[in-house]
Amino acid sequence: MLGLSLKGVSKSFGHITAVEPTDLSFPKGELTALLGPSGCGKTTLLRMIAGLEAPTRGTILLGGEDITTHPAHKRKFGMVFQSFALFPHYSVRENVAYSLVIGGMGKAAACKKANALLETVQLGGFGDRRIGELSGGQRQRVAIARALAQEPEVFLLDEPMSALDAKLREEMQVELRLLQQRLGITTIVVTHDQREAMTMADQIVVMSNGRIEQIAPPQEIYHQPANTFVADFIGKANFFDGIVVEGGVTVGDTHLTTQANFQSGSPVQIAIRPERAAMDDEGGANRVAAKVMFVRDLGPLREYHLQSDIGPMIVEYAVGETGPTLSTGDATTVRLPPEAIQVFPRAAPKSQAA
């Protein structure tokens, strides 16, 4: 079935382009995360979808119908705001029942439905509280219940976890994902937190500078980043500049075997995830001498910060993995498996993946 889709949607404020022409579709019932650093245009995109901002160009389609000119109050997409935007002069129940009451539903019926929704978000019995009496996590649940009360076709969340502390955030991500899957509602979440996106999303849209860098499921975004921006923004990666030669890449004086096919002599950037590099005795290609500069022990993870022949790099081991036990100053060799090395063109314009 058709979900929500954008065709050539763009937005400029005066001379500043916030969102470049964008084609994007949000499959029905799935959760899409708009992920990117602050200022990348993701919130503007969300606000255009909500109807709070008019696109400069392009059309927005919902189930095949053009809704570009529909104002926000006609679209009635439920939205959870970064600040939650709960009405301080109403009680919790009145907040949740707001869309129902102004939509003409009777007081009693609206109350009943609001109570049911509060149960759903585990806030049964909080209906008479004032907003000021709630904790951050409770406020967020009220905001979610309020946005869902009108049974929206599309559910929008703008940085929904940013006001919560780290621990609560992880719990809420799982809870929100479970709720979304149960309701089967088309959902768009704006976030700058890759863990949040990875936790919740069926599909991640990585954005930077008003344009889309990559659209893919979480695992693909992580393991097959489309370009250096995505590789850098999602997870950690060691980057090295090199030149393509026959069968591989030369970084400084070191030849590394890689799998990508580029024309010889072209400048490239290679990336390798810290957990894909290894310090072991297995033979093979791509062994680089290195010295341990710093050991960062995080409990479940251990990071070795190395100074290698091709530059500084980080190698990471999870607890339970068989790895060497090294300390600062030790000499070692790092193996970079050819299949783990990603090769990107260097100084090339950012490509738009699809």
Partner 1 sequence: MTVADDIPLAKPARAGKATQPFPIRRVVPGVLTTLIVVFCVAPFLLVLAISFGRKVDGAAWVWDLTFENYQRFFVGVLWPDEITLLYLQQLYYSFYFAVIASLLAVLTALPFTLLLTRLKRSTQAMWLVFILSSLAMSEVFIVMGWDILLSNNSGLPKLFRETGLTAWLKDVGWFQTLRDWGLANPRNVKFKTSDFATVLTMSYLVWPYAVILLYPALSRLDPSLAEAARTMGAGRWTVTRTVTLPSIRLPLLGTTLLLFVFLLGTYVAVTVFAAPEKHTTAVAIYSNVRGANLNAPFGATQAIMLLIAASTCLSLGHLLNRKAEGAR
Partner 2 sequence: MRVFGMLYMGLVALVLALPIVVVCGAALNSGRSMFFPPVDPTFERFGEFFVSEPVWTVALWNSVIVATSAASLAVLMAWPIAYMLWSTGSNISKTLAGLGSLPFAVPPIVFGVGLGFFWAFTGGLGEIWAGIISHAILLLALPLVTISIGLQSIDRSLLDAAATMGATDQVAFRTVVLPQTVPYTISGFFFVLVLSFNEFIVIFFVSASSYATVTLQIFNSLRNGYTPTMAVAAITFLAVSILVFSAVARWGDLPRLMGADQTRK
Could you list the residues that contact partner 2 (CB under 8 A)?
A: 47, 50-52, 71-79, 81-83, 85-89, 98-99, 102-103, 146-147, 149-150, 156
The CA distances from residue 230 to 150, 170, 214, in Å, are 36, 23, 7
Nearest to 219, CA basis, from 202, 236, 241:
202
Task: Output 77 or 126, the one with its CB closest to partner 2.
Answer: 77
DSSP string for residues in 246-294? TTEEEETTEEEE-S----TT-EEEEEE-TTT-B-SS--SS-EEEEEEEE
Q: What residue 13 binds from partner 2, partner 1, none (CB within 5 to 8 A, per partner kind)?
A: partner 1
Q: Choose the stretch contacting partner 1; rule: CB under 8 A; options: 52-60, 120-128, 164-172, 327-335.
A: 52-60
Q: How far is the CB of 237 from partner 1 (least distance, A)?
A: 26
Identify the residue whose tokens are 């290195």: 290
Q: What residue 43 binds from partner 2, partner 1, none (CB within 5 to 8 A, per partner kind)?
A: partner 1
Nearest to 257, CA basis, from 233, 227, 287:
287
**Residue 120 φ/ψ, nearest 5 degrees:** -55, -40
Q: Verify binding: residue 43, partner 1, rule CB under 8 A.
A: yes
Task: Output 21 or 51, the one with its CB closest to partner 2.
Answer: 51
Q: Choose the stretch contacting partner 1; rule: CB under 8 A; options: 47-55, 129-137, 265-273, 279-287.
A: 47-55
Q: Choose the stretch contacting partner 1; rule: CB under 8 A; options: 75-83, 101-109, 128-136, 255-263.
A: 75-83
Q: Choose the stretch contacting partner 1; rule: CB under 8 A; options: 51-59, 256-264, 281-289, 315-323.
A: 51-59
Query: Given candidates 10, 22, 32, 44, which one binds partner 1 under the rule CB under 8 A?
Result: 44
Q: Choose the stretch contacting partner 1; rule: CB under 8 A; options: 63-71, 250-258, 273-281, 317-325.
A: 63-71
Spatial CB neighbours of 104, under 8 Å, sequence gap ≥ 6: none
Q: Verify binding: residue 8, partner 1, rule CB under 8 A.
A: no
Return the exposure string of 183-220: e unless at least 16 CB atoms fall within 10 Å of the residue's CB, then b.
eebbbbbbbbbbebbbbbbbbbbbbbbbbbbbbbebee
Integer Cα distance of 61 and 73 in angstroms = 16
Task: Output 20 or 30, the one with its CB closest to partner 1.
Answer: 20
Per-residue contact string for residues 149-168; x = within reach of partner 1 by CB under 8 A: ---------xx---------
Q: Which residues pair with 180 in a beta bridge?
A: none
**Residue 297 φ/ψ, nearest 5 degrees:** -100, 110
Q: Show the beta-strand stretches assigned E in 164-237.
A: 186-191, 203-208, 211-216
Residues that bind partner 1 (CB under 8 A): 13-14, 16, 18, 38-44, 47-48, 51-54, 69-72, 74, 81-83, 158-159
